[in-house]
Amino acid sequence: MRGLAILLWAPLVLIVATILGALVSLVSQLPLAGLAEALAAEETRFAIAMSLRSSLIALALALLLGLPTAWLLARRRFVGKAVVETVLDLPMVTPPLVAGIGLLLLLGREAPVGGALAGLGIEILFSPAGVILAQTYIASSVVIRSARAAIGAVDPGYAANAATLGLPPFWAASLVELPMAGRGLMAAAVLGWARALGEFGATLMLAGATRMRTETLPMAVYLNIASGRTDIAIACALILLALAFALLLAIRLLTADRPDPMTEAQHARPQA
């Protein structure tokens, strides 16, 4: 039994020790004075602002596109649905660099789509708009999958009852189903935002790595490690870790088991 317990606990201890060891090593590389100076650097402040601004816009676009898609997948059956779901999941399993190459070829000036956008004066490649597009592309799949699960967990009978009272399908979904799936949808939004904040590969291919222009926090880590400015790289890495920890904690709190108000109401109802 003792040997079995060791076999069970050893992987957990090893993984936790590795994660904490990497974090401690990262923090210990920069003294507090150097960390404060790196955090106050203009480049760091630009990367923070760029990451927050672009990721929030990307999250808004991902929600705008993802929520109707998630509801459709959760509530409707149609021919080829399995193929469509597989296509929507591709950005989650495809290496971001591959996704970035695809977007680059799609939006290049030689391509029909990219040429049409260039004719309209819309510049996507190697611009802040490219950062937002890459983040939206990656975050949308996360939002769709998580939101679909949240909506699918809601009993469709509630919307059906609302329809019998004369509520149109759009309003039944908006006023009944989505609020009931609210915690799951909020978790989907937080997860999508975290994915957008940490996006690097597709952004590198589509928007490039230009200081003080397309420099998000992951891009700042890459650029400053490559140029030997480890202080700014570590500062940006620590900011990303702090944001990731806060967002993961928010997801844990949002998805924690809580009493269902509908179930509580049914149990509290006096029996005839």
Average of per-residue pLDDT across 25-45: 85
- Asked if 100 contacts 201 with a C-beta cutoff of 8 angstroms, the reply is yes
Model pTM score: 0.86
The rounded distance, in Å, linking the Cα atoms of 100 and 104 is 6
pLDDT at 9 over 70: yes
Predicted local distance difference test score (pLDDT) of residue 1? 64
Domain 35-255 is found in CATH 1.10.3720.10: yes
- Domain extents for the chain? 35-255
Please report the pLDDT score of residue 14 as a whole number.
92
pLDDT of residue 257: 63
Task: Give 31: exposed, middle or buried? Use CB within 10 Å, 0-12, 13-18, 19+.
Answer: exposed
54-58, 103-107, 262-266: which has the highest mean pLDDT? 54-58
Phi and psi torsions of 96, nearest 5°: -55, -30
Q: What 8-state DSSP symbol labels residue 154?
A: S
Mean pLDDT of the 162-187 span: 86
Contact predicate 196/62, CB 8 Å: yes
pLDDT in tens, 66-99: 999 999 999 999 999 999 999 999 998 889 899 9
pLDDT for the residue numbered 36: 85
Position 270: which residue type?
P
